[in-house]
Structure 1
Amino acid sequence: MLTAIVLFISFSCLLASIQCYGGRGFDPLRKLITDQRFKRSVDYLNEEAATHYLPVYVGSQEGLKDADRVLMLPGQPNGINFSQYSGYVTVDLKAGRALFYYFVESEEPLTRPLVLWLNGGPACSSLGAGAMTELGPFRVNNDNKTLSYNKYAWNNVANVLFLESPAGVGFSYSNTSSDYVTGDKQTAADSYTFLLNWLERFPEYKARDFFIAGESYAGHYVPQLVDLILNNKITNQTFINLRGILIGNAFIDFEDELKGSYEYLWSHALISDELHDGIVSNCNFSSISEVCNAYIDQADDARGNVFMYNIYAPLCSLSSNIPSISGFDPCSENYVYSYLNTPEVQKALHANVTGISGPWESCNFDVGINWKDMPETVLPTIKELMGSGISIWLYSGDTDGAVPVITTKYSIHKLGPSVKTSWYPWYSGDEVGGYAVEYQNLTFVTIRGAGHFVPSYQPERALTFFSSFLEGKLPPRHN
């Protein structure tokens, strides 16, 4: 069982880490987790993610919205017709714990829903990943100074709120050092507190249709936050008009992740038949033996230096920045790192850099390796949410080897929903954008040719299915 726990931690803490773009060198996270593997308590993984549903801190937000307005980001292109805000929301006054957000309104903000976006990790930034390399309105150019407009940004159809959570991630911080040893429960509680306070700061969004979206380890963040929101309807807190959730390449079940990952490697010709047969014959992923572990180690070595978050994407080379076939620059993380560590940019974003211990980073590895509670599965929570009446969508980029499409299929099979609309190809423009199937109280969508960070690799297709999600419709069958 200990081997299974080690592998679980290694996998889960890598998810959604844009360090893995390869832009700023090797990924140090796996080494750090390996060094700490025998120091971690087994109880961390078996601990339930339940939170006591009590009234939470809500502070005065008077005047803070106007103070948070971003007049213009350095290097921003001309002709931008939407408003931007960024700043801090205090979630624990006594501890001095504050979470950083970046909010991008639609050009028609009054008629569009509100969407909260969460990147995973755990402990990775929604600003650096989601906003700056995926679904936000801007991408950082390779000069590290200027921005280009993303015409497929999700604020075309929604008002999008990016949250850096928990404290210690990105520009979010705490004045209490013990807050940096955290986990699923505290992350959900702080995100809920953030929402209540943010809605007081932006009261025009209180009655708005509200959706939560995210990717990877947000497969934990999103269901746990939603569970907290729905259970707190009975308290005297602000009503949140939650309509649905959307989770991409979702890490939601430990056994499915391991089983599906090596099945995916074999089915995409990254490991041999012999290794695959050895894994199938010797691995029970609920209790991994030493023999199974040996085969897994061989499989990890055999696949070579392939970027597992998009198995067909090039690695970043500082000597020659070659875009992938989708047009996404694999060195984008380098540009974001440089841009967000520019004093003029930090000033424009109202970032309190004295509150963080070093430069802005895409992921806080110290927080990640000290993660306290991460249940092995969140399928029971998702199962419960399926009966709540909200819309639940899972989606997968089909070239992601880190949390492959097959892992989500395994998890849906465990949930056992009946099929309402059979698997079919959906279209974006003149091409098949992917495939979709509607179950009872659950929809699953694949995005063709996209890796783990779907909007990075297939921005047009991502916007197409996201628009369908907001409209409560299945992705279009024809162009």
Structure 2
Amino acid sequence: MRVYQQMAQPMWSQTLVIATLATVLVCSTSENPFVEQGKDRVGSLPGQAFNITFAHYSGYITVNEESGRTLFYWFIEALEDPHSKPLVLWLNGGPGCSSIAYGQSEEIGPFHIKADGKTIYLNPYSWNRFANVLFLDTPVGVGFSYSNTESDVLNNGDKRTAEDNLVFLLKWFERFPQYKGRDFFISGESYAGHYVPQLSQVIVKYNSAIKGNAINLKGFLVGNALTDDFYDQLGIYEFMWSSGLISDQTYKLLNLLCDHESLIHPSDSCANITEIANTEMGNIDPYSLFTPTCHANASLGQLNQLVRRKHRKGILAPIYDPCITTHSIAYFNRPEVQRVLHVDPDHKPAQWETCSDVIYDNWKDSPPSVLDIYHELIHSGLRIWVFSGNTDTVLPVTSARRSINALKLPTVSHWRAWYDDDGEVGGWTQEYAGLTFVGVRGAGHEVPLHKPKLALILFKTFLAGASMPNLELVSAS
């Protein structure tokens, strides 16, 4: 179960800003940054039987010299004309899950992995068609990110993750100075519903404190995002009942026994009725209601554990191949893959994994809501979009809508269908003052995995700052 600690929202103080600036100035390399870039450039990947026209880089940025906290990144330039395209940071959640495993290898990245765990293929719906995309494994202990201080992995939390991510970005721009001042967006899903707005808040405060624009943040985009524990919970119950997954009696008891107080002080009665609900749902993949589970590597007990861990980023991520995550595990544990990606042999994990149970089980701070950050950032003028696949039971569309309604924003454009290039309904959307909501038809927890074409339309429209296409617009084109 996710950490439900009632904690005050982290405050990003002037002291933190000064310390962060000092860290970046002291630790910035004296080497020519373009020489350092060259060291991180990736050649042909193992299992790559195709040519590419874009450059990509992977390596490490140390975010804390004293403890040796070091984050691993994979940066993929735009397919065409990267100098004119914006920069997008992608974060996966968990907490404890790898953006390399999910964002790059299953969802929005260009390099996807075949079932043999050895061969890769080009994703035709990669987001680097419209942007330069930076994937970050955060915090330390995720993927190939590491610390020289063993206790760091046991002391991760929201506040330190946001601080380390800010230092990472400032130092990354020192290594890639050609991207300084570039329009910058942040995107992610699931528990990144915390990471993304928290990092956005830190950046805004940092820029304000130095009276400059160190990072040219323009907005953020989050999907099936953990936002507010209470509204998320209510939305889960509503979705389970309205989708016919649980009985009327169980739905009534969930609302009765799992009230707001149970989030602060979990009760046995709430836990018991939740177990009953999980049993009634059966052995489905809760992250994607209508796709098959991976029978090859998931026992009945494992599937039940997935259902219980409602806020955990998917261990299973089925689309046409429900066992897709096993392909990443096989590929990124290959020594030749690690060599090409510049993984430090002295700091590589004994076994690379998509998600870390150690990080998940030892998470230190997690505020019950980030809606206060939304209020703050909406007033700062950022472009903010929330999207949701409507076949996810873990953080369903009903949860997203409840959280947005709690913001009490004026409606600018009322609820309507939006359409793909073929004139088919892609989902539904509503625009508010300062925020846009987009539902994606038929998508599970990982929208770009289940509906890559629709996700790419969403992303392109977000970058343009436009409205989702209506039928008249599609017909005209």
1:54 aligns with 2:17: yes
Q: Partner residue of 2:399?
A: 407
How far residue 382 of structure 1 moved from its aligned partner, in angstroms, is: 1.0
CA distance in 2, matches of 1:282, 1:92: 44
Task: Return 288-297 or 393-402, whichever deviates more.
Answer: 288-297
Q: What is the CA distance between 1:357 and its match in structure 2?
A: 4.1
Distance 1:325 1:209 in 2: 31
Contact 1:49–1:374 (CA under 8 A) maintained in structure 2: no
Could you say what secondary structure the match of 1:131 adopts? Answer: helix
Q: Does 1:439 align with 2:432?
A: yes
Kindly indicate whether residue 260 of structure 2 is the aligned counterpart of residue 246 of structure 1: no
- Matched with 2:170 is 196
- 1:45 deviates by 3.3
Deviation at 1:54, TM superposition (A): 1.6
In 2 relative to 1, CA 297–358 (structure 1 residues): closer, same or farther, beyond 3 Å?
same
Q: Distance in 2 between matches of 1:183 and 1:377?
A: 14
Aligned partners of 2:224 and 2:445 also within 8 Å: yes
Q: Are the aligned partners of 1:465 and 1:475 in contact in 2 as well (CA < 8 Å)? A: yes
C-alpha change, 1:258 and 1:327, in structure 2 (3 Å) is: closer
Q: Which of 64, 89, 105 is residue 116 of structure 1 equivalent to?
A: 89
CA shift in 2, pair 1:291/1:178, >3 Å: closer
Pick one of 191, 196, 208 that aligns with 2:182.
Answer: 208
1:380-395 → structure 2 map (5 Å cutoff): 380-395=372-387
Aligned-pair distance for 1:289? Answer: 4.9
Of the three residues 453, 456, 460, the one matched with 2:453 is 460
Q: In the TM superposition, what whole-angstrom CA distance separates every residue of 1:177-230 from its partner, at most 9, and x where no partner exists?
A: 121111001000000000000001111111110000000111110111111100
| Structure 2 Cα separation of the partners of residues 171 and 294 of structure 1 | 38
Q: For structure 1, which segment, 369-378 or 234-243, has the greater mean C-alpha deviation from structure 2 after superposition?
A: 234-243
Distance in 1, Cα, partners of 2:104 & 2:267: 41
Residues 325, 167 of structure 1: alpha-carbon distance in 2 compared, 3 angstrom cutoff: closer
- What amino acid maps onto 2:370 in structure 1? V
**Structure 1 residue 99 corresponds to structure 2 residue 97:** no
- Stretch deviating more after TM superposition (332-341 or 257-266): 257-266
Deviation at 1:376, TM superposition (A): 0.6
Q: Tell me if 1:349 matches 2:312.
A: no
Q: Hey, what's the Cα distance between the residues in 1 that align with 2:297 and 2:209?
A: 57
Residue type at the aligned position of 2:400:
T
Distance in structure 2 (CA, Å) of the matches to 1:445 and 1:78: 35
Residue 248 of structure 1 aligns with an amino acid whose one-letter code is G
2:307 aligns with none
Is 1:362 aligned to residue 349 of structure 2? no
Q: Is the 8 A contact 2:70 2:147 kept in 1?
A: yes
Q: What amino acid sits opposite 2:231 in the alignment?
A: D
Contact 1:258 1:285 in 2 (8 A): no
Give the whole-Å Cα distance in 1 for the aligned partners of 2:318 and 2:160.
Answer: 37
- Partner residue, 1:19: none
Against the structure 1 CA distance between its residues 291 and 365, is the aligned structure 2 distance closer, same or farther, given a 3 Å change threshold? closer
Distance 1:147 1:437 in 2: 37
Q: Which residue of 2 aligns with 1:125?
A: 98
Task: Calculate the aligned-residue CA RMSD, in Å.
Answer: 1.9
Structure 2: any 5+ residue segments left out of the alignment? 299-315
Whole-angstrom distance in 1 between the partners of 2:268 and 2:131: 49
Residue 295 (structure 2) pairs with residue 317 (structure 1): yes
**CA pair 68-452 structure 1, distance change in 2 beyond 3 A:** same
What letter matches 1:54 in structure 2? V
Distance 1:386 1:214 in 2: 18
Residues 455-474 of structure 1: CA deviation (Å, up to 9, x unaligned): 00000000001000000001
User: Which segment is superposed worse, 283-292 or 239-248?
Assistant: 283-292
SS in 1 for 2:404: helix
Q: Which runs of 5+ in 1 are unaligned?
A: 1-9, 14-41
Residues 353 and 255 (structure 1 numbering): CA distance in 2 closer, same or farther, change over 3 Å? farther
**For residue 90 of structure 2, what is the amino acid of its counterpart?**
W
What letter is aligned with 1:347? Answer: R
Separation of aligned partners in 2, 1:362 and 1:152: 22
Structure 1-normalised TM-score?
0.88
Q: Is the 8 A contact 2:287 2:317 kept in 1?
A: no
Distance 1:299 1:234 in 2: 47
Shift of the alpha carbon at 1:319? 9.1
**Residue aligning to 2:6:** 45
Do the aligned partners of 2:317 and 2:325 also contact (CA within 8 Å) in 1? no
In the other structure, the counterpart of 2:329 is 337
Between the aligned partners of 2:318 and 2:407, the Cα distance in structure 1 is 33
> How far apart are the structure 2 equivalents of 1:277 and 1:235?
49
The 8 Å contact of residues 91 and 190 in structure 1, kept in 2 or not, is answered as yes
How far the C-alpha of 1:335 sits from its partner, in A, is 0.6
How far apart are 1:77 and its partner, in Å? 3.4
Contact 2:292 2:318 in 1 (8 A): no
Change (3 A) 1:326 1:426: farther
Cα deviation per residue 1:283-339 (whole Å; 9 max; x = unaligned)? 42333654444322211121111101101111113399xxx9995311111110010
Matched-pair identity in %: 45
Matched residue SS, 1:54: helix
Contact 1:247 1:395 in 2 (8 A): yes
User: Residues 356, 306 of structure 1: CA spacing in aligned structure 2 closer, same or farther, 3 A cutoff?
Assistant: same
Instruction: Classify 1:72/1:238 alpha carbon distance in 2 versus 1 (closer, same or farther; 3 Å).
Output: farther
In structure 2, what is the equivalent of residue 65 of structure 1? Answer: 37
Residue number among 145, 151, 170 corresponding to 2:118 in the alignment: 145
State the distance in 2 between where 1:428 and 1:87 align: 37
